[in-house]
Amino acid sequence: NAKNEEAGVSEGKKGEMEDKIVVYSPHGKDILAKYEKQFEAKYGVDVEWLDMGSQEILDRVRSEKNNPQADVWWGAPSTNFNQASAEGLLAAYKPTYSDHLDEGFHDPEWYWTGTSQTPEVIMYNSKELSKEEVPQDWNELLDPKWKDEIIIRYPLASGTMRTIFSAMIYRTYKDTKDPKDGYEWLKKLDQNTKEYSANPELMYNKIAKGEGSLSVWAMPDVVMLKENKKYPFEFVIPESGTPVLTEGIAIVEGAKHPKAAEAFYEFVNTKEAAKNLAEEFYRIPTRSDVPDLPEWITSTEIKAMDIDWNVFQEKGDEWMKHWDENIKSGDKEIKE
């Protein structure tokens, strides 16, 4: 019946739809090009997209506030969307599949809805380390034996890393309301960290070539690298639980092509689309009604950390700023 529903939507609105739609998305050329083609074939609406980092999208949507260029923002951690909706950058839209989304997978006011989940994991170079040696939980990363083995993406510009670091603080913060222990933890991690890489590509490269052997990163990316790009990577899901990010989609406030935007919004999160994304692009769907998911999703047991994302949004900047200014050892890179 979902199929009919969707068909109804499309047929009903086809006539009034604008002839163009602009999508901002960090999903990259492969995904975007594919959905562009399908959407254009189906609706005859010209899809244009810009791919850039989610943080950059937020930044850009902000600077284009007076003259919005984008219609749809597809893909970013929910924290980014929360921030954007707080600044009035998003338009509310309740999609047809809203019933199939669990509580945490959408904005209460429907400013965004989730499309996929991203658990954060410990990633390692499978040529350098065996499955047994690898730390099984966050705290094991602090073991001095990993000194100078850990290479981390520079967290300030990375939603993934911000989430992980915030989660590390949040673990104790939620009880004590004091980030001190978390800061302590991060300080120790910093001592084991060899380098903060400017972009993911550099981090992959360094870990693949053995300059370091451990990192923390998002699971779908690790799987994708391993399967598609033949990197010698494996991952471990921390035993004590891991933050699971929700990636979402939203319509930009003041969008110039609102009808087409809604169509696209629906289109990329149909059951088929979700399944396809899971199979081809290693994304774990948020919809609870997607059948026949690939084996790596069903067999992996993820223990999600219980997180109040509002706290993340509220405190995140402050925590990261503190990390940046007080924890990160500035001479890390100058040492060599």
Partner 1 sequence: MIKNRDTRLTIWLLLPVVLVLAAYVLYPSMRTFIESLQKDGSISLGNYQDFFVQESKTNLEALWNSVYISGLSVLVSAMIGIPLAFIFNRYDFPGRSFFSSAAILPIVLPSLVGVMAFLFLYGESGLIPNVIKDLFGLEQVPFKIGGLSGILIVHAYTMYVYFYMTVSAAIHKIDPSLEEAAYNLGAGKFKVFWQVTFPLLTPAIVAASLLVFMISMASFSAPFLLAGGYRVLSLQIYFSKINGDMEIAATQSVILSIVSISFLLFMRWYQNRKDYRIASKGIGSHRSEVKSPLMKWAMAVTGIIGVIILLLPHFTILLLSLVPDGTWTFQTYPTVFNIENYRLLFEDPNIFKPLRNSLLMAVIATLANLVFGVITSYVLVKRKFVGKSMIDILVMIPWALPATVIGMNLIFAFNEPSVFSFGQILVGSFWILPLAYFIRHIPLVVRSTNAVLEQLDDSIEEAARNLGAKWFYTFRKVLLPIIMPGVLAGTLLAFIESVGEFPTSVLLYTISNRPISIEIMNQLRMFNMGQAAAYGMVQITLIVIVLFISNRFFGIKAEKAL
- Amino acid found at 5: E
Stretch that binds partner 1, among 6-14, 67-75, 140-148, 304-312 (CB under 8 A): 67-75
Q: How far is the CB of 321 from partner 1 (least distance, A)?
A: 8
Of 197, 219, 239, 195, the residue nearest 283 (C-alpha): 219
> Residue 91 in 3-state DSSP?
strand
Contact set for partner 1, span 133-192 (CB under 8 A): 153-154, 156-157
Q: Does 213 bind partner 1 (CB under 8 A)?
A: no
Q: Answer whether 205's CB lies under 8 Å from 215's CB.
A: no
In this chain, which of 200, 220, 248, 258 binds partner 1, going by CB under 8 A? 200
Residues near 28 by Cβ (< 8 Å), separated by ≥ 6? 51
Taking the C-alpha atoms of residue 232 and residue 124, their distance in angstroms, rounded to an integer, is 8
In this chain, which of 9, 202, 293, 311 binds partner 1, going by CB under 8 A? 202
Taking the C-alpha atoms of residue 54 and residue 67, their distance in angstroms, rounded to an integer, is 19
Q: Answer whether 85's CB lies under 8 Å from 270's CB.
A: no
String of DSSP letters for 184-245: HHHHHHHHHEEEEESSHHHHHHHHHTTS--EEEEEHHHHHHHHHHS---EEEE--TT-B-EE
Phi-psi region of 282 (alpha: psi -120 to 50; beta: other; left: phi over 0): left
Residues in the interface with partner 1 (CB under 8 A) total 67
**Element holding 51 (H helix, E strand):** strand 46-51
Tell me whether residue 105 or residue 124 sits nearer to partner 1 (CB atom).
124
In this chain, which of 11, 132, 301, 325 binds partner 1, going by CB under 8 A? 325
Give the residues across from 234 on adjacent strands. 124
Q: Does 196 bind partner 1 (CB under 8 A)?
A: yes
Q: Which residue is it, tokens 């991952």?
A: 235
Stretch that binds partner 1, among 141-149, 171-179, 288-296, 326-334 (CB under 8 A): 326-334
Tell me whether residue 128 or residue 279 sits nearer to partner 1 (CB atom).
128
Q: How far is the CB of 313 from partner 1 (least distance, A)?
A: 12
Q: Does 289 bind partner 1 (CB under 8 A)?
A: no
Q: Does 254 bind partner 1 (CB under 8 A)?
A: no
Contact set for partner 1, span 14-53 (CB under 8 A): 22, 26, 28-30, 33, 48-53
Contact set for partner 1, span 75-134 (CB under 8 A): 83, 87, 125, 127
Q: How far is the CB of 249 from partner 1 (least distance, A)?
A: 18
Tell me whether residue 50 or residue 311 sits nearer to partner 1 (CB atom).
50
Tell me whether residue 29 or residue 303 sits nearer to partner 1 (CB atom).
29
Taking the C-alpha atoms of residue 329 and residue 331, their distance in angstroms, rounded to an integer, is 6
Chain residues binding partner 1 by CB under 8 A are 22, 26, 28-30, 33, 48-53, 55-56, 58-59, 62-69, 83, 87, 125, 127, 153-154, 156-157, 195-202, 204-206, 208-211, 225, 228-232, 317, 320-321, 324-326, 328-330, 332-336
